[in-house]
Amino acid sequence: MVANKLLISFLVFLTFSYGVVSEESWNKLSKYYYLSKISTNDASIKFNLAMTYAFTGYIEQGFKEIASIPGIDPTFKDKALIKYKRKTTLSPNDWEGHFYYAFALYVNEQKDSAISEFNKVIELASDDSIKGWSYGYIAYIYGERKQWPLAMENISKAVVLEPEGAALYLALGIAKKETGDGVGAAASILKAGTLQAKQMLGKHSLNNLKNDASTSEPTPHK
């Protein structure tokens, strides 16, 4: 039951996922959102947008963008694997390159290697939120495999680094409930709901993304 509930918490409650977004990350998100609206058939822009959604915690939106890419370019995942492996070789200390490469590996079903790349992101990134979401994606992979102790270990680390991640608290709450910690479960689930409400009303909510993006100037992408 714990395993099933934990998986549901990742798959059903993705809209709870985002946390606090830095100005730098928000500006990147606004830029790629804008570019995606004016270049609707550019797979590279779609992937850039997906990755920016991913490291700002907008998991549902990130996976939707990834799912749209094969319809634009069925070979993109193979090209991305080559492209971002090269980037990590040329710039081994750039966390963002490793983050992109981790997802390229993930969509190519090379999930052990994806975990390794997310761990490199955790080592290299200075932003605790980005580290936290990287632990969250590692937990997601372990959850897919039903390796629940490893999933829970990584979720716990994610919450420490990204204490505003509502989905992480929700997952912990469900797991605690199933293991008999009713008080801990209630506290975690209540915190998840509180964070969700706070984020919905915050400056960096998806409701504000369209307006912010409309004032962005398109710039060259990766």
Residue 148 confidence (pLDDT):
74
| Residue 218, number of CB atoms within 10 A of its CB | 13
127 assigned to some structural domain: yes
> Per residue in 40-97, pLDDT tens?
899 999 999 999 998 887 877 888 999 999 999 999 999 999 999 999 999 999 999 9
45 assigned to some structural domain: yes
Total of domains in the chain = 1
Q: How far apart are CA 48 and CA 180, in angstroms?
A: 42
221 assigned to some structural domain: no
141 assigned to some structural domain: yes
59 assigned to some structural domain: yes
30 assigned to some structural domain: yes
Q: Note down the domain range covering 58.
A: 2-213
Read off the CATH number of the domain in which 38 is found. Answer: 1.25.40.10
SS3 200: helix
Residue 27 confidence (pLDDT):
83
